[in-house]
């Protein structure tokens, strides 16, 4: 019904008008789509960088770029890390939240639509500033994504690439802070009548706490980046030991941002998974209150564990033990989440459509990343495996096995709402299996090479170390993964034209976004709905047995 209506009155305006409309829009849905598109673009760029890195490491003593190999390799991993964290991970999640939060809480837009647009464009601008470094004589920065001082000082990084890196992150960070403020205001002030904070969809709850973390973590990074720029451009000495500064201070500042950052990249995904699993298991989320408390718990504890990235800097022993204990504490609320998801599936009627497939992939893979995280939190173990490929394996299990699988689950779930079309299930399955197999082959062996003594960030290694096989398996895995991303992008584009029409509520779901048309009109809801429980559409579909009878 909705689709027919749409098609009958659509008369596309000429393309310059459409471009102008997208460039000047303050509509949260269009901005959300552009955020996700931006992230996909950078995902491809970051992926190409990863493939080059893997290609160089396939054989010991290889030099795929000849004499320039060391520098180019160092630039590649710097860009890869920076891109994936700042230009893929955060934008894709912020974009999805942008699209969904107002719809899920029954609002007509975000609280500050113009700030929202500013956020998108500063993120893009920051990314362009970073990549501008390719046009400078010295090329991109070669400092690693956590850019330990004094490598970022003028003495060791003379070229302008490092300045562009710092400014790019500074600018995009401002956009992120704006997004955080906006989500907070929207979620706190614009919920539909009847939707108390305890009744928001779980995804919205996780975005609330992600925003809190954004506001606590990004400003210290911004400050630290300004210090880098001052050191480089105006001869300040914040991180210059010879003049009374402290490189060690940078590490504290960076990880005070860096650890919460990993939760900024995973909490929203916990939210996605908590929407997808119930709908495709046909059961209400098990233990909503405990899940909500666990989310809060993670957000709080995560602020006090940053120095587990610094066990090897020679902290006092008691400090090591404190940070180890605090880091291990995070595993308790995370465990609660895992168990509640399993309990939600347990006793359900599980439908293995694409979103659920990726959600299950998330559960299976994120678990592994979580467990290796426990190993790394144990300080003395970390003395050995810190800064090795074991760590590289660990965080790719959390960021690909966790964040990316979750994002795919979310995109397969909400794409019909956004476009009014279904994605191809066949392509989804190809993508899933290629990604899963390729991912396991790429990152599984890294745990082994790490334990065998291979440090991260080395452009090559000697043949006598016994690391060749593991690196070769990794590279083959990367080659298997690569097509899965192309299939995904193809699926997104092809289904836009030829996907079967989705209808308003293709998954028979329960949250408010499924109550409006697909795609939703600019004003989202003709009439602002009144809400009585966490699953308003369940109440609507089961008037005899509504949720609000059971919720406390």
Partner 1 sequence: MSLFLPLAVSGLNRGVSVFHPASPATESIRHLFILVLAISGAIFLVVEGVLCYSILRFRCRSSDPGTEPPQVYGSKPVEIAWTAAPALVVFILVLVLARTEYEVRVRPPKPQPGDEALFVTVVGRQWWWEYRYEYFNGEALGFVTANELHIPVGDAERARPVYLTLVSADVCHSFWVPRLAGKTDLIPGRQNSMWLQTTEAGLYLGQCAEYCGTQHAYMLLRVYAEQPSDFRRWLENQRKPAVNDPSVQTGRQTFLGLSCVNCHRIRGTSAAGSYGPDLTHLMSRATLAAGVVPNDRLQLRRWVADPQQIKAGCLMPSFGLSEGQVGAIVDYFLTLR
Contacted entry of Cu ion, partner 1, none for residue 95, CB cut-off 5 to 8 Å set by kind: none
Which residue in 5, 7, 20, 156 binds partner 1 (CB under 8 A)?
156
Contacted entry of Cu ion, partner 1, none for residue 138, CB cut-off 5 to 8 Å set by kind: none
Contacted entry of partner 1, Cu ion, none for residue 259, CB cut-off 5 to 8 Å set by kind: Cu ion
Contacted entry of Cu ion, partner 1, none for residue 41, CB cut-off 5 to 8 Å set by kind: none
515 C-beta neighbours (distance < 10 Å), count: 19
- Reported residue count of the chain is 552
The footprint of Cu ion on residues 308-367 (CB under 5 A) is none
The footprint of partner 1 on residues 369-398 (CB under 8 A) is 371-372, 374-375, 378-388
Report the residue number, 259 or 417, with the smaller CB distance to Cu ion. 259
Q: What is the dihedral of CA 115, 117, 120, 122, to 10 degrees?
A: -60
CB 418 within 8 A of CB 33: yes
417 C-beta neighbours (distance < 10 Å), count: 24
Contacted entry of partner 1, Cu ion, none for residue 417, CB cut-off 5 to 8 Å set by kind: none
Instruction: In whole angstroms, give the CA distance from residue 469 to residue 307.
Output: 33
Report the residue number, 80 or 259, with the smaller CB distance to Cu ion. 259
Helix (H) or strand (E) holding 451: helix 425-451
Burial of residue 414 (number of CB atoms within 10 Å: 0-12, 13-18, 19+): buried
The footprint of partner 1 on residues 48-107 (CB under 8 A) is 67-71, 74
Binding mask 436-465 for partner 1 (x = CB under 8 A): --------x--xx--xxxxxxxxxxxx-xx
Which residue in 113, 144, 503, 529 binds partner 1 (CB under 8 A)?
144
Instruction: In whole angstroms, give the CA distance from residue 255 to residue 309.
Output: 7
Report the residue number, 152 or 424, with the smaller CB distance to partner 1. 152
CB 287 within 8 A of CB 337: no
Q: How far is the CB of 378 from partner 1 (least distance, A)?
A: 5
Instruction: In whole angstroms, give the CA distance from residue 485 to residue 91.
Output: 18
- Cis omega (within 30 of 0) on the bond before 63? no
Report the residue number, 131 or 148, with the smaller CB distance to partner 1. 148
Q: Which residues contact 97 (CB under 8 A, 6 or more apart)?
A: 32, 179, 183, 203, 207, 210, 268
DSSP 242: G
Q: How far is the CB of 273 from Cu ion (least distance, A)?
A: 21
Q: Is 126 helix (H, G, I), strand (E, B) or coil?
A: helix
Which residue in 191, 259, 337, 396 binds Cu ion (CB under 5 A)?
259
Which residue in 31, 36, 124, 151 binds partner 1 (CB under 8 A)?
151
Using CB under 8 A as the binding rule, whether residue 198 contacts partner 1 is answered as no
**Stretch of residues binding partner 1 (CB under 8 A), selected from 171-179, 266-274, 300-308, 343-351:** 343-351
Binding mask 252-291 for partner 1 (x = CB under 8 A): -----------------------------xxxx-xxxxx-
Q: How far is the CB of 259 from Cu ion (least distance, A)?
A: 4
Q: Token pair of 402, please?
A: 């966790």
Beta bridge partners of 501: 421
Nearest residue to Cu ion by CB is 259
**Stretch of residues binding partner 1 (CB under 8 A), selected from 5-13, 45-53, 111-119, 325-333:** 325-333
Report the residue number, 35 or 362, with the smaller CB distance to partner 1. 362
Q: Taking the alpha carbons of 196, 200, 206, 212 in that order, is the dihedral positive or negative?
A: negative
**Stretch of residues binding Cu ion (CB under 5 A), selected from 16-24, 157-165, 256-264, 483-491:** 256-264
Cα radius of gyration (the chain): 23
Which residue in 94, 130, 368, 473 binds partner 1 (CB under 8 A)?
368
Report the residue number, 28 or 259, with the smaller CB distance to Cu ion. 259
Report the residue number, 23 or 312, with the smaller CB distance to Cu ion. 312
User: What is the size of the binding site for partner 1 (CB under 8 A)?
Assistant: 98
User: Long-range pairs for 167-170 at CB < 8 Å and ≥24 separation?
Assistant: 167/126, 167/129, 167/225, 167/229, 168/126, 168/127, 168/128, 168/129, 168/130, 169/82, 169/86, 169/126, 169/130, 169/221, 169/225, 170/126, 170/222, 170/225, 170/226, 170/229
CA angle, residues 7, 10, 15, in degrees to nearest 5 = 135
Report the residue number, 113 or 304, with the smaller CB distance to Cu ion. 304
Using CB under 8 A as the binding rule, whether residue 493 contacts partner 1 is answered as no
Instruction: In whole angstroms, give the CA distance from residue 184 to residue 341.
Output: 26
Contacted entry of Cu ion, partner 1, none for residue 332, CB cut-off 5 to 8 Å set by kind: partner 1
Which parts of this chain interact with Cu ion (CB under 5 A)?
Answer: 259
């Amino acid at each position: 019904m909705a689709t027919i209506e749409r098609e009958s009155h659509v008369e596309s305006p000429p393309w310059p008008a459409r471009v102008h409309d997208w460039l000047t829009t303050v509509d949260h849905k269009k901005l959300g789509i552009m955020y996700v598109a931006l992230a996909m673009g950078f995902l491809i760029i970051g992926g190409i960088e990863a493939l080059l890195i893997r290609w160089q490491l396939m054989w010991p003593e290889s030099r795929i770029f000849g004499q320039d190999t060391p520098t180019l390799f160092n630039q590649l991993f710097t860009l890869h890390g920076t891109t994936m964290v700042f230009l893929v991970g955060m934008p894709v999640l912020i974009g999805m939240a942008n699209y969904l939060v107002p719809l899920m809480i029954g609002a007509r837009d975000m609280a500050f639509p113009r700030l929202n647009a500013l956020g998108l464009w500063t993120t893009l601008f920051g990314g362009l500033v970073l990549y501008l470094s390719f046009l400078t004589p010295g090329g991109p920065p070669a400092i690693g994504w956590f850019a330990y001082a004094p490598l970022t000082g003028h003495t060791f990084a003379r070229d302008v690439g490092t300045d562009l890196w710092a400014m790019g992150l500074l600018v995009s960070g401002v956009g992120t802070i704006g997004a955080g403020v906006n989500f907070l205001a929207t979620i706190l002030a614009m919920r539909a009548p009847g939707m108390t904070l305890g009744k928001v969809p779980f995804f919205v709850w996780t975005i609330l706490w992600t925003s809190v973390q954004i506001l606590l973590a990004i400003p210290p990074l911004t400050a630290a980046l300004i210090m880098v720029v001052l050191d480089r451009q105006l001869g300040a000495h914040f991180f210059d030991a010879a003049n009374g500064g402290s490189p060690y201070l940078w590490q504290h500042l960076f990880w005070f941002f860096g650890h919460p950052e990993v939760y900024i990249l995973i909490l929203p995904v916990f939210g996605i998974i908590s929407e997808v699993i119930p709908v495709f298991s046909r059961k209400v989320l098990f233990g909503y209150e405990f899940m909500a408390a666990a989310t809060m718990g993670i957000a709080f504890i995560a602020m006090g564990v940053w120095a587990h990235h610094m066990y090897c800097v020679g902290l006092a022993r008691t400090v090591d033990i404190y940070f180890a204990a605090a880091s291990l504490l995070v595993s308790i609320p995370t465990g609660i989440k895992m168990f509640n998801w399993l309990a939600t599936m347990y006793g359900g009627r599980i439908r293995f459509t694409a979103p659920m497939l990726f959600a299950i992939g998330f559960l299976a893979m994120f678990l592994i990343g979580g467990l290796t995280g426990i190993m790394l939190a144990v300080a003395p173990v970390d003395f050995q495996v810190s800064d090795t490929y074991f760590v590289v394996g660990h965080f790719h299990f959390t960021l690909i096995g966790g964040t990316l699988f979750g994002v795919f689950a979310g995109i397969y779930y909400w794409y019909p709402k956004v476009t009014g079309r279904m994605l191809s299930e066949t392509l989804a399955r190809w993508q899933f299996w290629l990604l899963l197999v390729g991912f396991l082959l790429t990152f599984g062996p890294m745990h082994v090479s790490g334990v065998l003594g291979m440090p991260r960030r080395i452009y090559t290694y000697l043949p006598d170390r016994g690391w060749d096989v593991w690196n070769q398996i990794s590279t083959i895995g990367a080659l298997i993964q690569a097509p899965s991303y192309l299939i995904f992008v193809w699926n997104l584009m092809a289904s836009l034209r030829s996907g079967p029409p989705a209808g308003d509520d293709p998954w028979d779901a329960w949250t408010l976004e499924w109550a409006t048309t697909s795609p939703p009109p600019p004003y989202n809801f003709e009439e602002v709905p009144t809400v009585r429980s966490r699953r308003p559409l369940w109440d609507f579909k089961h008037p005899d047995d509504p949720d609000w009878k059971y919720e406390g």
